[in-house]
Amino acid sequence: MSANTTLRLGDKAPDFTQHSSQGDIHFYDWAGDNWVLLFSHPADFTPICTTELGRTSALKGEFAKRGVKPIAISVDPVESHQKWIGDINETQNTEVTFPILADADRKVAELYDLIHPNVSATSTVRSVFFIDPKKTIRATITYPPSTGRNFDEILRVIDSLQLADSHKVATPADWKDGDDVVILPSVQDEEEIKKLFPKGYKAVKPYLRVTPQPNK
């Protein structure tokens, strides 16, 4: 993947080696067989980002039980990150244990198309990349600098992606873990449906078949 090429869903997440608050990181090696949440921040010592990194840290257990490793990125250097982490821990009553990439040369920012000149010519926009264990980009969300991320939504997207990977279902509007789901239109054989969804289903329309979440 060349620099400044827009990444699309289904693309391979670009590999990289970069400095971080926890030493140099070779991305693929660091990710291993885990899901990864890669999220960018405009700059260190910014108010909204401080709350976001604090929230990420507070949700450490929720990410861990889903097999997700969070990693942040800012274009500031390691020394700045270390000082900022102290502020985050103090103001958000937490302890940041995930790495923050120190992308001072903007190598990763360019690989992931995070520099948007109509927002800022130097700092990264507020983007999230959901990357699966095969290093495939499965979903992205980009927010303006003024809007902090909704971490309930981030966890919901992860739950939906992982559920879709393990069962032949999709999740409807406003779905939350434990709610009913929709059987994929590609599943048409009734014997297969009975086997996959023993709790049964309701056919609202032939293409809209609702069933209880199969792993609950």
**What is the per-residue pLDDT across 40-54, written as a single tens digit (0 to 9) for each?**
988 899 999 999 999
Query: In three state form, how does the secondary structure of 41-60 look?
Result: CCCCCCHHHHHHHHHHHHCH
The CATH architecture one would assign to domain 17-149 is 3-Layer(aba) Sandwich (3.40)
Rounded Cα gap, residues 119 and 162, in angstroms: 33
pLDDT number for residue 205 = 95
Catalytic, out of 25, 37, 49, 71: 49
Q: Residue 2: pLDDT band by 50, 70, 90 thresholds?
A: very low
pLDDT score, position 42: 84
Whether the predicted pLDDT of 104 surpasses 50 = yes
The pTM (predicted TM-score) of the whole model is 0.92
The residue with greater pLDDT, 54 or 4, is 54
Determine the pLDDT at residue 145. 80
Helix (H) or strand (E) holding 116: none
49 is catalytic: yes
Q: What is the CATH number of domain 167-211?
A: 3.30.1020.10
Q: What are phi and psi of 142, to 5 degrees?
A: -125, 130
Instruction: Report whether pLDDT(117) > 60.
Output: no
Q: How far apart are CA 77 and CA 200, in angstroms?
A: 55
Strands of the 202-205 sheet, one edge to the other: 169-170, 181-183, 208-211, 202-205
The single-letter code of the amino acid at 123 is: S
- Give yes or no for residue 3 having a pLDDT over 80: no
Going from N- to C-terminal start, the domains of the chain cover 17-149, 167-211
For a pLDDT cut of 70, what percent of the chain falls above it?
94
Angle at 97 between CA 92 and CA 98, to 5 degrees: 105
Report whether pLDDT(130) > 80.
yes
pLDDT in tens, 184-200: 999 999 999 999 999 99
